[in-house]
Amino acid sequence: MTQRAVYDEFIRRNDGMAVKMGLTSRMLLCEPISRQGEREVTVATAESTQALEAFHARTAELLEESVAAIKERRPRKVVTYTPEAAQVWYDRARAIESDLQPGRFFHDIPGFASKIAENVSRVAALLQYFCNGTTEIDVDTLQAARDICQFFVDEMKEISTPYDPMENAAMYGQLLEEYLIRYQRTTRRTEVDINNLKQYGPNRIRNKEKMWMAINNLCWLNRVHTEQRGRRTVIVLHWGYI
């Protein structure tokens, strides 16, 4: 964990050697959204630690198993894919390769993109063995790994994108627009609370500044407008737009 300024300085050092060597491409990086100014102080309530205790117990079990395997010189276990999961993985790897072309989704982060399929495999292997204790990755586990890695793909795109207010406003507006269309078709509602967007909206615009850049962009395009309802701010979708 580090501050953004420290990370940026590290990337710039030695003419960006860390990027050229592929160091950052092998990492799953993220920049969590700051909640400063929005945090509420509440009376602490007891929360169940059952899941955390189960995690600790499973971790300890695997560590003991690993130590025993080393002492007894057991052969390493090899994690593989089921035929169905392997086909899904190959299809995804080919799609990623295609998106490396100029103008496509991954064209601006080719180094990171070239490692995504491998990282999905690593995460899938961890999930399969940690959760199920088996060494054959199934389709459901692969999908879970893909979803996790997709979060880091979006984060890397955000971290690596040069800041251009006008271009970013249009991009954020498009992300919000796509989400609102899905929201309206799913719920049949034409209003959405901004707090709902901060929780469930596109990950890349949950930051307060980016959220308002997206909203203002859609307001300027006459796709939506905002209304103040007491302490709540609501986005109203225009019927002509829907």
* pLDDT tens across the length of the chain (242 residues): 777 777 777 777 766 676 677 777 888 888 877 666 666 666 666 577 899 999 999 999 999 999 999 999 999 999 999 999 999 999 999 999 999 998 888 888 888 898 999 999 999 999 999 999 999 999 999 999 999 999 999 888 878 766 555 667 888 888 899 899 888 888 888 899 998 888 888 888 888 888 888 999 999 988 999 999 888 899 999 865 55
Gap between the Cα atoms of 73 and 60, Å rounded: 20
N- to C-terminal Cα separation, the chain: 42
**Residue ranges, CATH 1.10.10, the chain:** 165-237
Return the structure tokens found at 13: 């050092």
179 contacts 199 by C-beta, under 8 angstroms: no
Q: Which fold has domain 165-237?
A: Arc Repressor Mutant, subunit A (1.10.10)
Q: Which of 187, 185, 215, 189 is nearest to 202 (CA)?
A: 215
For residue 141, give the 3-state DSSP assignment: helix
